[in-house]
Amino acid sequence: MIQQHLRQLLPEREVYPSAAFALLCGSAAAVLVWKWLGKRQIQKRMEEARRTRDEGVKKMAKAVQQFREQVPHVQTDAILSLPLLELTERLREGSLSPKTVLYTYIEKALEVTQQTNCLRHFIPECEEQLQEIQQQREKGLLYGIPVSIKDHIGHKGHLSTCGLVQCLGTVVQEDSVLVKVLKSQGAIPFAMTNVPQSLFNYDCSNPTFGQTLNPFNHHKSPGGSSGGEGALIAGGGSILGIGSDIGGSIRLPSSFCGLLNVCPLPNPVPCALGPMAKDVDSLALCMKALLCEEMFQLDPTVPPIPFNEDVYSSSAPLRVGYYDTDGYFPLPPCMRRAVQDTRRALQAAGHELVPFCPPRIHHVMNELFLKTFFADGGRAWLDFIGDTVDPSLKSQVNCCRIPRLGKKLLALILKPLVSPWLQDQSTVVSATP
């Protein structure tokens, strides 16, 4: 009986390893197919996004061509050379039409993005907005002004991608507060600009829409993350743009592209939206338009404090603190020279300039800023980015993917070697006149 029972069990034991192996192979194949299908789906979304962008460019190019045929004698260079204050005045008095200004800037934006790839998408609804502002009873402070906005600033009917492939299928259902206020002031959002993947890069490139170039030197970056805005405005394709800043995302593109910016929150963690333009008067006009009753009602996080024209226009001497290095980020001589030139100009105008050094900057950057952003070892950031990684981010992504034990071992090895070098660099920068 026992032998017979063993004979019955033996075939099952012989079959079991082959069945397990087959099951394992089947599972592995299923995983590979599932990953392939996922990548293929992402690739289709990327291709569709590029196709939509290209179709939008062709549509706008055709609209500009039709306008030029209808109004062949428009002096586009004269319009593009007008500063924002003069342009708004000409629009309000009627010597220039919003339609002429809009198509003039669309034409220039087409030229700039062909050279720099700064646009993510045109906003075709700008033509409808053009009709709406002409029916408004009161002309807002930005009446008829074409405005470009950064990719992630929500506009109804369009994507808000942040440079991430995961966001390519999500269309914004409602205008953001900022877009609503801009429209209420008569502005015409006409283009959305390119950004780096996840907005967390000082370059401007993402896997879907590619690399944005600096308009002054195509071998250089426009900076990030508001790099598309910086390139478009610097190239003359927009007179006023809206970017956002957490750790330099407006300030760096403005610096790289020779623009001015307003970032009202110096704290490096809360995100601050702000205008980007070529001169101070343009920024001031934009802030006057944005700090209005509608903004205060729509966004409770904005203090209900209107723009103070008396303070802005006052000629009373100011006490201004300044520094030309923080002892952490080494600056090139040209940037430090620009700060010193500004200091001398302000002193000559009667203002008091007080030098200071930001306190405990190494502690702030290493212990507070970096460790706050990567408190989870970069896990949330890696989850956002996914498997499709832009080349400009690969080194950062690979560092975050190192296992925790590996990071600790590397820190033990590299800290004694790197720390003295960083201290030497800080001393050299601080001592440079």
CB burial class (10 A; 0-12, 13-18, 19+) of residue 28? exposed
What six digits make up the tokens of 334?
A: 């040209």
- State residue 171 phi and psi, 5-degree precision: -95, 135
Report how far Cα 51 is from the mean position of its chain's Cα atoms.
22
- Residue 249: active-site member: yes
CA dihedral sign, ordered 5, 6, 11, 16: positive
CA dihedral sign, ordered 108, 113, 119, 123: positive
Alpha-carbon span 396 to 141, nearest angstrom: 43
- Residue 62: active-site member: no
- Active-site residue, from 148, 198, 226, 249: 249
- Active-site residue, from 108, 150, 183, 278: 150
In eight-state DSSP terms, residue 368 is I
Query: Which of helix, strand or coil describes residue 193?
Result: strand
Strand pairing report for 260-261 and 272-277: antiparallel
Query: Which of helix, strand or coil describes residue 171?
Result: strand
Helical axes 98-116 vs 126-133, angle rounded to 10°: 160
Q: Comparing C-alpha atoms, which of 309, 230, 244 is closest to residue 277? A: 230
Query: Within 13 Å of residue 379, how many CA atoms lie on the same side as its CB?
Result: 5
Helical axes 177-184 vs 280-290, angle rounded to 10°: 100
- Residue 44: active-site member: no
Alpha-carbon span 58 to 189, nearest angstrom: 18
- Active-site residue, from 148, 184, 198, 225: 225
Report how far Cα 213 is from the mean position of its chain's Cα atoms.
14
Alpha-carbon span 153 to 243, nearest angstrom: 8
Catalytic residue set: 150, 225, 249
